């Protein structure tokens, strides 16, 4: 009988278990979406144009791909680059993936993301051990449960914290629809961000809401008032959701309204054929980037004349909020880039907002808001101070601004642009 040849089993080098593949894919997708949200926010803040109408700061490819080392191996990362055509030295730096970083570090930031992406508590330890190595040792399912309880306690403490020690000058409000269903109903989180007199942006409220109803927003605003936000903010920025504005008029009737130009632009373009959208977008851009209210109104009128006959619905959507879209002209020009959009909230929660329904059964209605709160607090650490924060004191004391420039008296504005 011929001798049998014994061939020892050798695991293929390319072999990877299903969890490893899942984690690596999730990590790559998460980083990519989060960094793209960062660069979109950066471009939104630097949306100035040159004399020819071209954007001064534009996308310019990517930095060389590098790898973040984790317990599951290297996760590839490509950070976008921008080009400053005006030569003012504006450079995009990712806060999520700083230069030269080579490995994941924060358990606090990773845990809520993993849970939102559907990694259940009993597999969290395995997932974290793969991502973070020795840092995750001992994280059993019961440990994850205790951490979840801690997050809920932190949210409870946050909800009871006083806001009275600061003067909150501006508010941003938005309803974040996550694409996650809890208890067979879609989840909406109502988020409020504020800036105090020192120019610091802070998360003020994050609550579960029912379809952004007036009652839901009323409860949020009344709770803020009960925590010490008694002096009406000077300006509130939000999208066209009627629930928020109706509630604001009841709780803070003296607060002025500014509609978000990003939301408004999207709503108007949705009523136009795709072939028309690029030109219409440029025409809308000409309104909110105009240096004076007079020029903005002129561009506004031109948009109506151009599109009213063929696309009355688009013009109606734009025209109904005309004055509330131009409120920012009565505030310091240094603040305009912050006041024209709810982007401070959008960019912080974009990755969660755009996710699909991957979470199945791992999230309950009681636990989702604490997770989102943790994500918001992590994002808050990277929020930048308001540009021109020194002007906030003048806004608080009632100094008038016209076309972004301080008005020295009732008849003369310190600008030559008004006559333009």
Instruction: Give the model confidence (pLDDT) of 197-229 as tens digits.
Output: 999 999 999 988 777 789 999 999 999 999 999
Same domain, 40 and 185: no
Is there a domain that residue 298 lies in? yes
Instruction: Give the model confidence (pLDDT) of 257-314 as tens digits.
Output: 999 999 999 999 999 999 999 999 999 999 999 999 999 999 999 999 999 999 999 9
Mean pLDDT comparison of 67-76, 120-129, 224-233, highest-scoring range: 224-233
Q: What is the pLDDT of residue 354?
A: 45
Q: What is the pLDDT of residue 382?
A: 78
Complete DSSP assignment for 317-334: HHHTTHHHHSGGGGS-GG
Percentages helix, strand, coil for the chain, rounded to the nearest 5? 45, 20, 35
Q: 123 is in which domain, residue-wise?
A: 108-259+359-385
Same domain, 254 and 276: no
Angle at 300 between CA 299 and CA 301, to 5 degrees: 90
CA distance 221 to 204: 10
Find the CATH number of the domain harbouring 113.
3.30.420
- Of 68, 89, 104, the last residue of a domain is 104
- Of 104, 121, 152, the last residue of a domain is 104
Same domain, 57 and 29: yes
Q: What is the pLDDT of residue 183?
A: 56
Same domain, 119 and 231: yes
Is there a domain that residue 3 lies in? no
Same domain, 227 and 299: no
Give 259 or 413, the one with higher predicted confidence. 259
Instruction: Give the model confidence (pLDDT) of 248-268 as tens digits.
Output: 999 999 999 999 999 999 999
Is there a domain that residue 345 lies in? no
Same domain, 408 and 289: yes
Reply yes or no on whether the pLDDT at 342 is more than 90.
no
Check if the beta carbon of residue 314 is closer than 8 Å to that of residue 304: no
Same domain, 112 and 254: yes
Q: In Å, what is the CA distance from 332 to each residue of 46, 63, 217, 326, 384?
A: 17, 35, 28, 13, 18
Rounded to two decimals, the pTM is 0.67
Maximal C-alpha separation, the chain: 112
Is there a domain that residue 347 lies in? no
Reply yes or no on whether the pLDDT at 117 is more than 60.
no
CA distance 229 to 223: 9
Same domain, 207 and 148: yes
Is there a domain that residue 317 lies in? yes
Complete DSSP assignment for 250-278: HH-TTSEEEE-HHHHHHHHHTTS-TTTHH
Same domain, 133 and 186: yes
- Please measure the distance between the N-terminal and C-terminal CA atoms of the chain and give it in whole angstroms: 103
Alpha-carbon Rg for the chain, nearest whole angstrom, is: 25
Tokens read off for 292: 């004076």
Is there a domain that residue 2 lies in? no
Same domain, 374 and 393: no
- Of 78, 104, 130, the last residue of a domain is 104
Is there a domain that residue 136 lies in? yes
Q: What is the pLDDT of residue 407?
A: 93
Tokens read off for 202: 């802070």
Considering its fold, how many domains does the chain have in total? 3
Reply yes or no on whether the pLDDT at 130 is more than 90.
no
Q: What percent of the chain has pLDDT over 70?
A: 69
Check if the beta carbon of residue 59 is closer than 8 Å to that of residue 80: yes
Same domain, 315 and 246: no
Is there a domain that residue 6 lies in? no
Using CB atoms within 10 Å of the CB of residue 294, give its burial: 0 to 12 exposed, 13 to 18 middle, 19+ buried: middle
Same domain, 98 and 137: no
């Amino acid at each position: 009988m011929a001798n049998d040849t014994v061939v020892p089993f050798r695991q293929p080098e390319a072999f990877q278990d299903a969890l490893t593949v899942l984690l690596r894919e999730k990590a790559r997708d998460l980083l990519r979406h989060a960094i793209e949200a960062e660069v979109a926010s950066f471009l939104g803040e630097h949306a100035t144009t040159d004399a020819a109408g071209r954007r001064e700061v534009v996308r310019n490819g990517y930095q060389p791909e590098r790898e973040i080392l984790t317990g599951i191996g290297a996760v590839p990362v490509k950070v976008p680059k921008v080009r400053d055509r005006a030569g003012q030295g504006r450079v995009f730096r990712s806060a999520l993936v700083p230069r030269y970083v080579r490995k994941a570090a924060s358990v606090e930031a990773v845990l809520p993301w993993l849970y939102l992406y559907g990694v259940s508590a009993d597999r969290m330890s395995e997932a974290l051990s793969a991502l973070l190595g020795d840092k995750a040792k001992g994280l059993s399912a019961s440990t994850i449960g205790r951490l979840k309880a801690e997050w809920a306690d932190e949210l409870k403490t946050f909800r009871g914290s006083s806001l009275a020690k600061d003067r909150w000058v501006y508010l941003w409000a938005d309803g974040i629809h996550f694409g996650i269903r809890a208890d067979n109903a879609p989840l909406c989180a109502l988020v409020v961000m504020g800036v105090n007199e020192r120019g610091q942006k802070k998360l003020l409220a994050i609550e579960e809401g029912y379809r952004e109803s007036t009652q839901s927003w009323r409860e949020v605003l009344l709770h803020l008032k009960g925590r010490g936000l008694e002096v009406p903010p000077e300006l509130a920025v939000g999208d066209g959701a009627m629930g928020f504005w109706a509630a604001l008029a009841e709780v803070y009737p003296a607060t002025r309204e500014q509609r978000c130009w990003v939301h408004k632009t999207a709503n108007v373009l949705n009523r136009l054929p795709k072939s028309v959208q690029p030109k219409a977008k440029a025409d809308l851009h000409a309104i909110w980037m105009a240096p004076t209210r007079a020029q903005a109104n002129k561009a506004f009128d031109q948009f109506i004349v151009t599109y009213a006959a063929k696309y009355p619905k688009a013009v109606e959507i734009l025209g109904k909020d005309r004055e509330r879209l131009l409120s920012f002209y009565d505030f310091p020009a240094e603040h305009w880039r912050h006041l024209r959009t709810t982007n401070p909230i959008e960019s912080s929660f974009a990755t969660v907002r755009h996710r699909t329904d991957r979470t199945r059964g791992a999230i309950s209605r009681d636990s989702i808001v604490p997770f989102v709160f943790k994500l918001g607090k992590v994002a808050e650490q990277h929020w930048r101070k308001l540009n021109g924060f020194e002007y906030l004191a003048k806004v608080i004391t009632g100094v008038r601004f016209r076309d972004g420039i301080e008005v020295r008296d009732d008849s003369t504005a310190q600008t030559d642009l008004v006559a333009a």
